[in-house]
Structure 1
């Protein structure tokens, strides 16, 4: 069961990184940089497995935003791949607007 959750995490993180790469030119045009994706395992047991991802966005070395989300919370995925992707796009657009 944990292996399935780890695989789902990898897929969601890859999906997130893909969306970041799609917007890479928009980030560069606004002089926005982002740090590498951080994955934190909050709870390790299968029944209450909880994992959280965060990434910081900087402009002129100051944090202008953070995207932070749970992939799993208390053993259950927080969203489907489609829902995560839609949310990523919305959050990335929000960060880009802050960078204008």
Structure 2
């Protein structure tokens, strides 16, 4: 779906940054932050951040809607939210694994 991974990362990071600036959400409340233009999530404790990301996206319809609107604006409006969540979580996992 997204051919240019670096551009994908930048766009997703920008969406997260915008969301963090405009709302008091779980990421902000739990000291989860974004660093530069890599999708790195930093927490003060040793919990598994991948499961935190998964859990956050499954519960937060607002940010799913924002990102879904951005990603599917030019070509895949037939994708359901469930399909989108599954794909998005897989993409996030892939990006996080490549950053290790």
Measure, in 1, the Cα distance between the counterparts of 2:75 and 2:40.
Answer: 14
TM-score by length of 2: 0.29
23-32 vs 52-61, which deviates more? 52-61
**SS where residue 50 of structure 1 aligns?**
helix
Measure, in 1, the Cα distance between the counterparts of 2:10 and 2:22.
Answer: 18
**SS where residue 54 of structure 2 aligns?**
strand
TM-score by length of 1: 0.29
Distance 1:67 1:46, change over 3 A: same
CA RMSD of aligned residues (A): 14.8
* 1:30, distance to aligned residue in structure 2 (A): 17
Equivalent pair of 1:57/1:64 in contact (CA under 8 Å): yes
- Flag as ranges the 4+ runs of structure 1 deviating above 6 A: 1-33, 35-69
* Bigger Cα Rg: 1
Distance 1:93 1:48, change over 3 A: closer
23-32 vs 1-10, which deviates more? 1-10
Which has a greater percent of strand? 1
Residue of structure 1 equivalent to 2:35: 35
- How many residue pairs get aligned? The number is 100
Which has a greater percent of helix? 2
**SS where residue 40 of structure 1 aligns?**
strand
